[in-house]
């Protein structure tokens, strides 16, 4: 009976969480559709959530592209397939690793920041103060962060794709003596603009996950400072799990 009770409570909690997250997302989309946007706050959030994530995204993408190239270049040259190294790096980066790893890194930095900020506002009763003045927290707090993520994550992903390909090119040339012309030619043959666009389509889903989960976790904070820590941890863990799961679904739908 205790096992059934736990299963029942877990099921109820799951649907309650999913419902609350869906309602928050629908409310935020409603404000966006009616163009009820705080432009100045959105620009500020673009700088905080997007521009300040550039360094960590760059390092992640650079070392990812270099590792893929390092693992494949020498073996490819040994078996006479050196001309395919650039295509392998570009193919993996543009379609899968670029969007997904960028989203995971941003989820760790941005998702936790959103949850911590909104959670602290809940604990200090600033959210209640907004509601008492007739202001909607979703419009004033969630929508600017949501829109900033929708704008910045695709740009960060494009930058990450380029950095990964360039980093892979340097490693392939340095350690496997693959010419730059051969590498670039392989990249052009392996991917086209359709692959880039499909990879970027994923980022809009990932951006929605990061912003909505972080905001919902923050607004659901209970229990003071300890509750803020729980909310931040939950935001990161849930966001990353959803990113991996949605990446599989999107890859299946987009690339077959």
pLDDT in tens, 105-164: 999 999 999 999 998 888 888 888 888 887 788 888 889 999 999 999 999 999 999 999
Q: How far, rounded to the nearest angstrom, does the alpha carbon of residue 71 sit from its chain's CA centroid?
A: 26
Nearest-angstrom CA–CA distance, 155 and 167 = 18
- Residue labelled with tokens 């090119």: 169
Q: Tell me: pLDDT of 1 over 70.
A: no
pLDDT in tens, 184-209: 888 888 888 888 999 999 999 999 99
Please give the pLDDT value at position 6. 80
Measured CA to CA in angstroms, residue 246 lies from 17, 172, 214, 239 at distances of 17, 32, 17, 10
141 burial (CB, 10 Å; 0-12 / 13-18 / 19+) is: buried
Name the DSSP letter for residue 176: S
Please provide residue 176's backbone torsions phi and psi, each rounded to the nearest 5 degrees.
-115, 0
Instruction: Identify which has the larger pLDDT, 204 or 20.
Output: 204
Please give the pLDDT value at position 225. 77
Average pLDDT of span 81-90? 79
- Residue labelled with tokens 């550039």: 54
pTM: 0.91
């Amino acid at each position: 009976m205790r096992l059934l009770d736990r299963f029942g409570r877990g099921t109820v909690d799951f649907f309650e969480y999913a419902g609350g997250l869906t309602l928050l997302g629908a409310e935020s989309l409603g404000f966006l559709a009616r163009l009820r946007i705080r432009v100045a706050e959105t620009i500020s959030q673009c700088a905080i959530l997007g521009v300040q994530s550039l360094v960590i995204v760059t390092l992640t993408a650079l070392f990812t592209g270099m590792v893929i190239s390092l693992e494949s270049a020498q073996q490819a040259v040994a078996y006479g397939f050196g001309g395919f190294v650039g295509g392998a790096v570009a193919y993996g980066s543009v379609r899968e690793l670029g969007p997904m790893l960028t989203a995971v890194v941003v989820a760790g930095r941005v998702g936790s920041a959103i949850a911590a900020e909104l959670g602290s506002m809940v604990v200090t009763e600033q959210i209640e103060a907004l509601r008492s003045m007739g202001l909607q927290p979703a419009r004033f707090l969630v929508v600017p962060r949501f829109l900033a993520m929708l704008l910045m994550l695709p740009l960060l992903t494009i930058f990450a794709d380029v950095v990964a390909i360039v980093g892979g090119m340097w490693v392939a040339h340095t350690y496997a003596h693959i010419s730059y012309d051969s590498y670039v030619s392989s990249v052009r043959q392996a991917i086209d603009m359709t692959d880039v666009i499909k990879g970027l389509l994923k980022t809009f889903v990932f951006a929605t996950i990061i912003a909505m989960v972080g905001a919902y976790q923050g607004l659901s904070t209970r229990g003071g400072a300890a509750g803020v820590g729980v909310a931040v941890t939950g935001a990161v863990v849930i966001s990353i799990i959803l990113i991996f799961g949605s990446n599989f679904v999107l890859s299946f739908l987009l690339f077959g």
